[in-house]
Amino acid sequence: MITVVAGPCGAGKTTWILQELAQTPTSAVYVTPEVSTVPIDATRVTARFPQVEIFHRQPETELLQRLAAGVPVYFELGFQLETNVPLLEAQPCRRIALVAEENRDAGWQLWADEVIRGNQSTLDLQSAQLWRAPLSGQVFDPPSLDTFWQELTQGAYGKVHRAKGIFELADGQAFHFDFVSGLPGSAYTELNLPRWVQGRPSRFSGIEVVGQGLDEGAIATTLKDCYLSDSLLTTHQAMLRDSLSLEAS
Domain that holds residue 234: 129-248
Domain final position from 82, 116, 150: 116
| Distances, alpha carbon 115 to alpha carbons 5, 8, 101, 111, 125, in Å | 10, 12, 10, 9, 21
Residue 78 shares a structural domain with residue 108:
yes
What does the pLDDT read at residue 248? 67
Q: Please give the pLDDT value at position 13.
A: 94
Sign of CA dihedral 94, 95, 98, 102: negative
Note whether residue 123 is domain-resident: no
Q: Report pLDDT digits (tens) over 113-154.
A: 999 998 888 888 888 999 999 999 999 999 999 999 999 999
| Last-in-domain residue among 90, 116, 142 | 116
Q: Is residue 124 part of a domain?
A: no
How many alpha carbons lie under 13 Å from residue 82 in its C-beta half-sphere? 12
Give pLDDT tens digits for 205-231: 999 999 999 999 999 999 999 999 999
Q: For 17-48, how does the pLDDT look when each residue is reduced to its tens digit (9 = 90+)?
A: 999 999 987 889 999 876 667 999 999 999 99
Confidence of residue 83 (pLDDT cuts 50, 70, 90): low
- 94 beta partners: 3
pLDDT band of residue 15 (cuts 50, 70, 90) is very high
Please state the length of the chain: 249
Minimum mean pLDDT among 22-36, 71-85, 195-209: which range?
71-85
In whole angstroms, how far apart are CA 54 and each of 15, 74, 105, 153?
Answer: 16, 10, 31, 29
**In whole angstroms, what is the distance from residue 11 CA to residue 30 CA?**
18
Are 87 and 60 in contact by the 8 Å Cβ rule? The answer is yes
Residues 82, 36 share a domain: yes
